[in-house]
Amino acid sequence: MNRQTWIFAGLFVAALITWQWFRNDQTIMVNEQDFQPDFVATNLSSIQYNRQGLPYRGMEAEQAEYYESLSMTLMKKPVILLYSPDGQPQWRLSGDNGTINTGDNAVLTSNVVGKGLQPDALVETLTTEYLEMDFINNRLRSDQTVRLESSQYQAQGTGLLGKLDQQTVELLNETRATYFNP
């Protein structure tokens, strides 16, 4: 091989190394930018109202990080308040961590507690480690162990389906219940 071929090969290798070097830096910068929160809020409190001016959903959190590119909010110590169609508080759901996907659903994890706030609520307390709320269809779901309590019974099972608008919950598997006579 002659000298001209070696110079050309050396320049080609240097160009390839330089191209790879700058391409990797740009990729890392883009990925880091995509996953930085668009805003961070502490002691967040929010209430959404329907067209009649009545509250239908509220949210509180010690800290919330909103990611616009993912259309989701990550929360620490979230509390979600759900209201009945006439604007009365119906459920208070809380957990150690939570995720809300804009307009669709919310997921609460770790030490999830749901409190029925209506005086005639069939479920006074719901506890689990995972609870998903589908806001479009007004459904609750869980695939974890769930415990339901009221003054009339205690029930435990694996998996839950609930209909918020009908105020019903169903334990799916391995259900055990104890009923109390007054």
Domains of the chain, by residue range, sit at 1-34, 39-179
What pLDDT band is residue 1 in, cutting at 50, 70 and 90?
low
Q: In the chain, what percentage of residues exceed pLDDT 70?
A: 91
Average pLDDT value for residue range 66-94: 90
Give the helix/strand (H/E) hosting 27: helix 3-34
DSSP state of 92: E
State which fold the 39-179 domain adopts: lipopolysaccharide transport protein A fold (2.60.450)
pLDDT at 34: 58
Asked if 71 and 57 touch (Cβ cutoff 8 Å), the reply is no
Average pLDDT value over all residues in the chain: 85
Block residue for tokens 């055990």: 176
pLDDT at 94: 95
Q: Per mean pLDDT, which range of 34-43, 112-121, 153-162 is the poorest?
A: 34-43
Longest dimension (CA), the chain: 102
